[in-house]
Structure 1
Amino acid sequence: MDRLHLMTVYVAVVEAESFAGGARKLHMSPPAVTRAVAALEERLGVKLLNRTTRYVRMTEAGQKYYEDAKLIIALADEADNAALGINAEPRGQLTVTASVLFGRLYVMPGIVEYLRRYPAVEVNALFVDRVVNMLEEGVDVAIRIAELPDSSYRALRVGSVRQVLCASPDYLATHGVPHTPDDLLKHQIILARGLNPNNEMRFLRDGLPRTLKLQPILSVSDNDSAASAAMAGLGITRLLSYQIAEPLQTGKLKIVLSEFESPPVPVHILHREGRHSSAKVRSFVDMTAERLRTELSLN
């Protein structure tokens, strides 16, 4: 069989996590897909996939081969498009991920604009409040709000968001405004566990980092609930600036201890492809980077 065809079948099976899913994606029969992967493994002399009745998983060799095969297929597609004179026209399916609120507020408007400009692309938007494994879930582009560990992915920094302490005007009128981090020990604290996985908060004082252990009156698993409790006057919470942009603008929440804030959290666009990235990935990353860099909340 043609080597590029075998690579294409293998990549489809990996991304669908099943032979049947890969077959549907390629409009092939499941037996034909199974034969193609078996022929590829026989040709290479290595096992690429571990199979069970429920799913397939890559071996270590299979993961490396998947990454290389994706690049080779992208290069082949780029060569075909260049020969046809349409290499600048994005097309195909693009999967994008971001956290739920950030995706809704900042990424979705860009997706709408992108699809209007490039109607030959089909976008799958995966907005979830967890770290998505881009390789396992077939994600092309991720927007991450975090310091990133070293990886083989390409990361483009587009801005940052502040970690802010806030409370309602009613709460501050009743309990007083804290003037130093130590004052928080006398206040009612609401912890959003996504940003504060333990009872510690970090601050900068005289340019030096300081950690304060707090006893919360309420701990919640999601940011919206923490913001709602703070707006109801229950206490002081810490969230990312974009998560409370609206209540800050309307005066429902006020920032406190801004002079002691921890360093801003960077926002990155992450993608799996290198300089030979496909037109759909390249164009989406470029548009999204330009859009996010102009957002007033990213500072």
Structure 2
Amino acid sequence: MDRLEAMSMLLAVVERGSLSSAARTRQVPLATLSRKIADLEASLGTRLLIRTTRKLTLTDAGVAYVAAARRILEQVEEAEREAAGEFTTPKGELVMTAPLMFGRLHVLPLVAEFLAANPQISIRLLLSDRNVDLVSDHVDLALRIGKLPDSTMGATQIGEMRTVTCASPALLAAHRGPQTPDDLRAFPCVTVDAPMPTQSWRFCHPGTGAAIDVTIQPRLTVTTPEAAAQAAIHQVGIARLLHYQAAEGVRQGALQILLQDYEPVPAPVHLLHVLRGQMPLKLRSFLDFAAWTSPLKHRTPIPA
């Protein structure tokens, strides 16, 4: 039995919460993964997992073994990286994740420039609007927009991003545009359905900095920011977006940014990474490169 492989499969099951999900992540047949864990339990002479139809639970022995297995696999991974020279020369594969649209517009050009300057590094860029788990999905870097929760992750801020309110000039021509956030109550609005939806949009008073919350009654709710931008272009209503999501419409004159004096404080943009001992030079190199060359370092580079 390959003990390290069995440990890795056990961790995948714990991190993913089920045998089937772990099998898909590891790209192995479910029967193979189940057999590997059963063989591991047999070799140890104790049960590590309690399987029910609803969930998997670690036994007391399983809790201790998983903690030890995680330490062992991290040490093995670090030893392999050191042997491969990743701590002495920037080389190897870097796995990154970023939001789909933001990654295409801002991260991909940065990656292309970085690769041109670092011929021994390759990058696997995962563009997804899902918040990927860095540990269980074996990701080196994740780009996050917004305030970060307290965690044990390392974070490097590479810029900031405005939140803007925008509408079609044609819609504004038919109505007197809003002069203050409260005026939005009289306008049709487009909102984006989110995991934690809110019925209000937050603004910032230009004189005092106090928060202003305006309750919105959406005329249309969509599932993606891209759809909200298109709906605003088609005069359905006023939309609230991150600046990059409205950028193309603004450049083309199809969208106009409103209430700029009332915009909330820009959201920070971070590169998030796992803290685990010595940092490989490929990771350190990209963090330094992004911090110095990111177009978001000082402001959003798109005119209002």
TM-score for the superposition, normalised by structure 2: 0.77
Q: How does 1:198-237 map to 2 (within 5 A)?
A: 198-205=198-205, 206-237=208-239
2:186 is aligned to 186
| Distance apart, 1:215 and its partner CA | 0.5
Q: How many residues get paired?
A: 285
Q: Does 1:75 align with 2:72?
A: no
- Alpha-carbon distance change, 116 to 57 in structure 1, aligned in 2, over 3 angstroms: farther
What is the match of residue 169 of structure 1? 169
Unaligned ranges ≥5, structure 1: none
Unpaired runs of 5+ residues, structure 2, are: 14-21
Deviation of the 1:81 alpha carbon: 4.3
CA RMSD of aligned residues (A): 3.8
Alignment of 1:1-299 (within 5 A): 6-7=3-4, 10-11=7-8, 14=11, 17-18=22-23, 21=26, 37=40, 42=44, 47=48, 60-61=63-64, 64-65=67-68, 67-81=70-84, 87-92=88-93, 94-118=94-118, 120-194=120-194, 197-205=197-205, 206-274=208-276, 276-293=278-295, 297=300
Is the 8 Å Cα contact of residues 160 and 296 (structure 2) preserved in structure 1? no
Instruction: For residue 287 of structure 1, report the CA deviation from its aligned partner.
Output: 2.9
Shift of 1:286: 2.9
**Structure 2 counterpart of 1:80, one-letter code:** A
CA distance in 2, matches of 1:277, 1:7: 23
How far has the Cα of 1:288 moved from its partner? 3.2
- Identity, in percent, stands at 31
**Residues of 1 paired with 2:39 and 2:280: CA distance?**
25
The separation in 2 between residues aligned to 1:293 and 1:67, in whole angstroms, is 37
In the alignment, the residues of structure 1 paired with residue 131 and residue 87 of structure 2 have an alpha-carbon distance, to the nearest angstrom, of 35
Deviation of 1:132 (Å): 1.6
- Does the 8 Å contact 1:18/1:56 carry over to 2? no
Supply the distance in 2 between the matched residues of 1:177 and 1:153 (Cα, whole angstroms).
44
1:248 is displaced (CA, Å) by 1.2
Q: 1:77 Cα shift?
A: 3.1
Distance in 2 (CA, whole Å) between partners of 1:187 and 1:140 is 44
Q: Counterpart of 1:188 in structure 2: which amino acid?
A: P
Distance in 1 (CA, whole Å) between partners of 2:25 and 2:158 is 39
Task: Measure the CA separation in 1 of the matches of 2:28 and 2:88.
Answer: 27
Paired AA for residue 172 in structure 2: L
Instruction: Mark the CA change 1:123 to 1:221 in structure 2 (over 3 Å): closer, same or farther.
Output: same
